[in-house]
């Protein structure tokens, strides 16, 4: 008489992958998009190219704000400080004879260096206190810049070095500079989030206490991200000063920049690379469509923000990603459940 052997279910392994679609398709689509946007000033009307320039500036700012709030958990309402400092760094270097377009990386570096001592003040605070403190930093920078006569004081000053270019050349070069900065910022953010730092930020975002328990240096990670975001916003300020070559404190340090960064990141989707881009597209579509409607423009934009916050807290792209399990720029991993044969 034989003894029946117990049935052992075959082992099924999970499949872990970066993307739900072929990376070659993403690379091909990105290459086509880069080519089209690079030659855009020569194939689209000048007014549309100007709109694209402003769009890229907002994408740069929103991507940096999303890196701060969506990944590192630092909600700042004072990032316009680095936008203004970047613009005025460009003005200062241009006054000293440096080509304005060459000043863009220099302005980003200046903002990164200034961000280092600022972190030692801000990181003593948490939550809402941190947010208000960033606003105080922005207003302080505004007041200090307004007292410097060389930079035009409170009335502002034009950026020298652009007078030898024709209006069309200035518009084209400004567009290309802004587009390349936006491309570098988005690509750099993507590479950063796919690195070890991306894993650290994900652990901090999901559970800060558990991240600390696992040995993550939360303060150092957040300081690094704050400095990176400052450099990015400084670059945005630099191209803003070039595209709108009259630099004045009330424009460069305007609180509206912080409001727009927050708005487009929230409606697009916090904690995603695609969110700020999609949010910026929606924002500019509303702006171009409703700008003649006066106060109704603000009402509709505000109502949209409230609706997104109530019913789609992950933002439009966050909700789409959760529903269809799709990412254009994947920085995490997807786990496929095993299937029975």
Top pLDDT among 105 and 5 is at 105
Average pLDDT over residues 137-162: 92
What's the pLDDT score for residue 234?
97
Assigned domain for 70 exists: yes
User: How many Å apart are CA 145 and CA 149, to the nearest integer?
Assistant: 9
What is the DSSP track for 82-125?
A: HHHHHHHHHHHHHHTT--TTTHHHHHHHHHHHHHHHHHHHHTT-
Assigned domain for 259 exists: no
Domain residues for the domain of 139 are 44-254
Assigned domain for 54 exists: yes
Assigned domain for 14 exists: no
Top pLDDT among 133 and 8 is at 133
Assigned domain for 77 exists: yes
Closest CA to 19 of 332, 275, 338, 278: 332
Query: 258: pLDDT confidence band, cut at 50, 70 and 90?
Result: very high
Into how many domains does the chain fold? 1
Average pLDDT over residues 259-287: 92
Average pLDDT over residues 109-129: 94
Checking 123-132 for CB contacts under 8 A at 24+ apart, the result is 123/219, 123/222, 123/223, 130/74, 130/75, 130/76, 131/75, 131/76, 131/77, 131/78, 132/77
pLDDT digits (tens, 9 = 90+) for 60-81: 999 999 999 999 889 999 999 9
User: What are phi and psi for residue 13, nearest 5 degrees?
Assistant: -95, 145
**Angle made by CA atoms 65, 70, 73, in degrees to the nearest 5:** 95
DSSP bridge pairs for 76 = none
Assigned domain for 25 exists: no
pLDDT over 70 at 318, yes or no: yes
pLDDT digits (tens, 9 = 90+) for 216-248: 899 999 999 999 999 999 999 999 999 988 999
What's the pLDDT score for residue 115?
97
What's the pLDDT score for residue 339?
55
Tokens of 252: 């460069």
Average pLDDT over residues 198-206: 86
pLDDT over 90 at 110, yes or no: yes
Assigned domain for 115 exists: yes
What's the pLDDT score for residue 1?
45
């Amino acid at each position: 008489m034989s003894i029946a052997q117990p049935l052992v279910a075959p082992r099924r392994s999970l499949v872990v992958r970066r993307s739900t679609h072929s990376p070659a398709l993403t690379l091909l689509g990105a290459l086509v998009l880069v080519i089209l946007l690079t030659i855009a000033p020569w194939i689209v009307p000048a007014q549309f190219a100007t709109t694209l320039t402003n769009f890229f500036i907002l994408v740069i700012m929103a991507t940096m704000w999303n890196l701060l709030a969506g990944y590192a958990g630092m909600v700042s309402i004072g990032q316009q400080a680095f936008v203004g400092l970047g613009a005025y760094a460009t003005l200062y270097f241009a006054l000293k004879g440096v080509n304005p377009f060459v000043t863009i990386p220099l302005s980003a570096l200046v903002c990164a260096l200034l961000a280092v001592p600022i972190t030692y003040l801000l990181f003593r605070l948490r939550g809402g206190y941190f947010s208000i403190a960033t606003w105080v930093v922005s207003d302080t920078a505004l007041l200090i810049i307004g007292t410097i006569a060389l930079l035009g004081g409170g009335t502002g000053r034009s950026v020298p070095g652009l007078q030898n270019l024709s209006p069309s050349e200035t518009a084209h070069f400004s567009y290309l500079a802004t587009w390349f900065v936006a491309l570098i910022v988005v690509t750099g953010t993507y590479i950063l989030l796919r690195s070890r730092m991306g894993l650290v930020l994900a652990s901090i975002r999901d559970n800060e206490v558990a991240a600390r328990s696992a040995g993550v240096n939360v303060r150092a990670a957040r300081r690094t991200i704050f400095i990176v975001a400052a450099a990015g916003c400084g670059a945005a300020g630099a191209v803003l000063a070039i595209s709108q070559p009259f630099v004045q404190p009330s424009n460069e340090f305007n609180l509206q920049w912080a409001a727009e960064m927050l708005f487009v990141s929230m409606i697009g989707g916090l904690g995603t690379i695609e969110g700020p881009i999609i949010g910026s597209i929606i924002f500019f579509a509303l702006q171009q469509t409703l700008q003649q409607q006066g106060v109704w423009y603000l009402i509709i934009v505000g109502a949209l923000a409230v609706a997104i916050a109530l019913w789609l807290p992950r933002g439009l792209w966050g909700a789409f990603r959760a529903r269809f399990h799709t990412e254009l720029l994947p920085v995490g991993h997807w786990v496929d459940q095993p299937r029975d044969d």
